[in-house]
Structure 1
Amino acid sequence: MTEEQPAQADLRRTGIHPDYWYPLAVSRRVRKNKTFATAFAGERIVLYRTASGAVHALEDRCAHRQVPLSMGVVEGESLRCCYHAWAYRGNGRISGIPYLPKDAERPPRGVRSYPVREAYGLVFVFPGDPAKAAAAPFPDLPEFHAPTHRTMTFSRTVKCHYSFMHENLLDMNHQFLHRGVLGRIQPKLLGYDTGPSHVEARYLFVPAGGRKDRGAGLLSGEGFSGGNTSDVITIRTGYPYQTLQDVPERSQLPAFSLWAAYVPEDAEQRVNHAYGLLMIAKPPVPGALNLAWPLIRRFTERVFAQDRMAVEAEQRAWDEQGEDRNQEVFPLILDVRDVLRANGVPLGPVRAGGGASPLCGGAPAAEASPPVVTGGLA
């Protein structure tokens, strides 16, 4: 390594930037009058849905004795700690302490609150600077609400750094891994472009024989009659999200579109929670997609299981070696690594107890937080 070519920072030690909207739960799992414990990059967060149906997000530690608020009780529009019954509003302020002396000037400082938006059947939280939440771009998924599409939702924990997920989906040269599900596929890179915060690649998928899972054909628009069609696959990492679109040959419209986000759970960011929305175009035959749904679900789960096996193996190798020793030769992947590295933040030291340091982007608790942003349930 010469002085003119300094070593690059290890991407697996780069944290995801907190100043974006991230899904932290599937909406249906955050039930009315219940709490839901989740996390972002080592920051423990409690979601709770009030009696009115609004969802709030707070730091998951009572300001009193640091007991998790996720162990607490939802009462009306407030969350009450299970230990001494301190009550919190959705903005993190303390609204009541049962034994607070009447002559006390004011309650102590509360806990940090996070801006929340609920859309596409997911609960999104803005874990960064709350002042930037309103202006931050939010995923635009018109197919989700379109009557021409039906959406399949995925929510899975994967034990790897989020960057491995971006590389896995963008690098379609790994189709050998899926040969038992997709048959033999010859992916051809048609071209790609890159910018400061994105990489977008287009592939031509040409069938080359072999047995294919029935759900694969149904998902790609081949229909119940079968057949082997070629497809143009467009994959984009638009930081911090990722999308994939499949357009079969002799078609102008996508057979399906995928939106995905990979949310780090732990402070070292070696575990992520993958959220995916697979928006599938309905075929002309009424009810055909309903019949195909179980087969498509089985196919996608099989593919995801194989991908998870591979990326978790990559993470184990990194853990064993203490650094990234892989020998990448594909320019597309080298470019997406640059994008993820440039848009991320340095990982700070891990505090006692596993919490992230401020270098990970977590802002300290404030006395008053901006009002919670709410949206309609998808």
Structure 2
Amino acid sequence: MAETDFDVSGNGRPVRRGDRGSGVVDLRRVGVHPDFWYPVTRSRKVRRGQVIGAAFAGERIALYRGRSGAVHALEDRCAHRQVPLSMGVVEGETLRCCYHAWAYRGDGRISQIPYLATGDARPPRGVRGYPVREAYGLVFVFPGDPQKAAVTPLPELPAFGSPAYRTMTFSRTVRCHYSFMHENLLDMNHQFLHRGVVGRLHPELLEYRTGERSVEARYLFTHAGGKRNRGAGLLAGEGLGGGDSADLMTIRTDYPYQTLDLLPENAERPAFRLWTAYVPEDAEQRRCRAYGLLMIEKPGIPGALHLAWPLIRRFTERVFAEDRMAVEAEQRAWDEQGEDRNHEVFALILDVREVLRANGVPL
């Protein structure tokens, strides 16, 4: 890629020097591109006839579900006195501000000002309305150019809703720039962090490919000993008895989302498939909401996955907590130093940084 500096090793192969000092833009100062569909809450949190607040990169959004069951997304401020519309009242398909009862349609246009009289000042047109769609148990909004919403697809998740899989949903705030999350999931060399949960895992990078909007890596995972959490084995499809295997893991950043598939040895389909999105909440994008859909293959024994569900949940929560600890520590270092002082040596991560830079927007 054009922005990456190279040295040449003794065998003539190009070797990246890393980000620092190479003259490239600090990735932590690059924002996510708004012209994509981003989840901002779980569907079940937006109940019929109610309104809640959400956020995307410093933009406050009011979400409400009308009488028809459709969800609407509006800029979270009344055009009158700037009181948050998330404090308002839903009436049919309209949202009424709690202060002076100005009523808004689902597109953000004002439909009624109860006390407006002839001779009064001309009222504003309304507030911004966001394109909104529901899928996979999540509410997605399109914060970019609304003209592009209709031609921009939602992510495709064939395993979601499949009779062969059951989905576990996650939604957690992480106090870091979204790029740290992409790097964490893609770089499986950090398994030492999880040694108390998964034992000693040996990840071997088999290959990876980079495109304009994507980076895909394939790892071979082998268990090299140590105590392994029961939930880890259940998630990997090893059953209650456990057992070591060589698993093939494929991880892909397909901007702005990420996926991870784990295919156990001799299996025909993944034991689980993970889809994630990291949605910045604040304007500086140093805090994001991580949404995850973990689609777990159902075993042949009826009810076995239901019994294993709590163990798998605890295992995944513990792994995520350890990852969150690490990436938030990275963000704190960036905050204290005022710049990215990472000395990255892994070519895969240098490539995903270039993809995130190239597809993002300046903050």
Q: TM-score of the superposition, structure 1-length normalised?
A: 0.90
- Alpha-carbon distance, 1:160 to partner: 0.1
Aligned position for 1:45: 61
- Write the letter of the residue equivalent to 1:190: L
- Alpha-carbon distance, 1:31 to partner: 1.0
Aligned position for 2:13: none
Counterpart-to-counterpart distance in 1, 2:269 and 2:305: 17
Confirm or deny that 1:167 pairs with 2:183. Answer: yes
- Write the letter of the residue equivalent to 1:313: A
Aligned position for 2:85: 69
User: Which region of structure 1 is more displaced relative to structure 2, 260-269 or 98-107?
Assistant: 98-107
- Alpha-carbon distance, 1:109 to partner: 1.4
- Alpha-carbon distance, 1:105 to partner: 9.1
Aligned-residue CA RMSD (Å): 1.4
Confirm or deny that 1:140 pairs with 2:156. Answer: yes
Aligned position for 1:129: 145
- Alpha-carbon distance, 1:102 to partner: 4.5
Query: Gaps (5+ residues) in structure 2?
Result: 7-20
Query: Gaps (5+ residues) in structure 1?
Result: 348-378
Q: After the TM superposition, which residues 185-224 of structure 1 pair with which residues of structure 2 at under 5 Å, given as runs? A: 185-224=201-240
Counterpart-to-counterpart distance in 2, 1:275 and 1:136: 20
* Alignment equivalent of 1:29, drawn from 31, 45, 68: 45
Aligned position for 1:338: 354
* Alignment equivalent of 2:134, drawn from 102, 113, 118: 118
Higher RCO, 1 vs 2 (CA within 8 Å, ≥6 residues apart): 1
- Write the letter of the residue equivalent to 2:159: E
Aligned position for 1:227: 243
Q: After the TM superposition, which residues 318-357 of structure 1 pair with which residues of structure 2 at under 5 Å, given as runs? A: 318-347=334-363
- Write the letter of the residue equivalent to 2:92: G
User: Which region of structure 1 is more displaced relative to structure 2, 264-273 or 96-105?
Assistant: 96-105
- Alpha-carbon distance, 1:106 to partner: 6.4
* Alignment equivalent of 1:299, drawn from 307, 315, 332: 315
- Alpha-carbon distance, 1:120 to partner: 0.2
Aligned position for 2:14: none
Counterpart-to-counterpart distance in 1, 2:337 and 2:253: 27
What does the per-residue CA deviation read over 1:239-271, in whole Å, with 9 as the maximum and x for residues that have no partner?
Answer: 000000000001121000000000000000000
SS of 2:160's equivalent in the other structure is: helix
User: Which region of structure 1 is more displaced relative to structure 2, 136-145 or 235-244?
Assistant: 136-145
Counterpart-to-counterpart distance in 2, 1:233 and 1:72: 47
- Alpha-carbon distance, 1:108 to partner: 2.2
Aligned position for 1:101: 117
- Alpha-carbon distance, 1:225 to partner: 1.6
State the identity %. Answer: 75
* Alignment equivalent of 2:301, drawn from 285, 294, 297: 285
Counterpart-to-counterpart distance in 2, 1:305 and 1:225: 26
Q: TM-score of the superposition, structure 2-length normalised?
A: 0.93
Counterpart-to-counterpart distance in 2, 1:131 and 1:103: 36
Aligned position for 2:23: 7
Residue-pair matches, total: 345
- Alpha-carbon distance, 1:228 to partner: 1.1
